[in-house]
Amino acid sequence: MPRPIFAEIDLHALRHNLSVMRSKAEGRTLWAVVKANAYGHGLENAVTAFADADGLATIDLCDAELARRCRWQKRILLLEGFFDATDIERLESLKVETVIHSFWQIDLLRKAGVKDVRCHIKVNSGMNRLGFLPVEVNAVYDELTSIPGVRVMDVVTHFANAEPTYFGDRPATVEKQLARMGRLARGGAAACMANSAAILFHPEVGGEAVRAGVALYGVSPDSHISSEELGIIPAMTLAAKIIAIQEIPADEAVGYGSRWIAKRHSRIAVVACGYADGYPRSMPDGSPVWVEGQIAPLTGSVSMDMLEIDITDIPAAQLGSRVELWGRHLPVNRVAACCGTIGYELICALARRVPIVLREDA
């Protein structure tokens, strides 16, 4: 028997979420972001589920190669561009488009003698990670179009804080970033600016293309707004089974460091999931899991391969009961908030050793 833990990936949910984001895109080109192994959901699964997207966006040429092997024939975009001169030949052979964010990339393109490379100019509108300043874009465009075989597709930028709960008096609101973009953001004929949060919450953001990321996987980009409210369905459920039950008296401790101490006679279940599976060791006592239709609290430190929960008040929980760590019944954003992170990190950190089970029922 395999170890009783698995991540259930719901292909119907992925397709549904793509349909929701397609509707929100209102006719614009829709890139489906599949970096980080499709946010932990499996790139091959994403290629299948996102067949109706206009293109895939990722950061690694290896992903592009895998997508092509999976018979993806539409557009592919490298969001961080290429990293070395040796990447350029592969770009062309795979027919992959690339973001250009630095002058050194332009220099490499000029020296490469390319025949057909499609470029997207990255603009730094306030995120201050990658990209050219808006005032540099004209010069960058001229440099790129002067290189034989290079075609400029559009300008792209990324919003640092498109969630509605971001404070408006901070430096990098959507409005302030759009203002920095200036004429580049107006008209919208050749710009790709909106991420999941901007697609959902900022209809004023124009452009001819959008990039849908975390919302495609059924996770709300704003932890204060539920997936249900947005009409999207969580596509990943991380579940494991109870493999042992301990009856312990009051004042007994559980786990490494004896952090959790029973205040009463307690029924403690051992679950086959640990930090080596992607469930954070930093989760505090009381963090929720879902079992037999109820919430049970975490008890003690998460170990490499196991964690413990208090099922004293859940008599239906028995050996073999399925425990949901996050998913349909327990939003990943709620779980992530317990240890001070975001749902993105948890789903992306799902360990490769966790078996994937596909589900496709509506």
Residues annotated in a binding site for substrate:
129, 304
Q: How many residues does the chain have?
A: 362
Q: What sections of 205-359 are H helices per DSSP?
A: 227-230, 332-338, 343-348
3-state secondary structure of 49: helix
Going 204 to 205 to 208 to 211, the CA torsion angle's sign is: negative
Going by their DSSP bridges, the two strands 266-271 and 150-156 should be labelled as unpaired
Q: Residues 57, 32: contact at Cβ < 8 Å?
A: yes
Residues annotated within a binding site: 129, 304
Block residue for tokens 């960058």:
140
Give Cβ neighbours of residue 218 (< 8 Å, ≥ 6 apart): 13, 14, 17, 227, 232, 233, 234, 235, 236
Catalytic center residues: 35, 256
Residue type, 353: R
**Type of residue at 329:** H
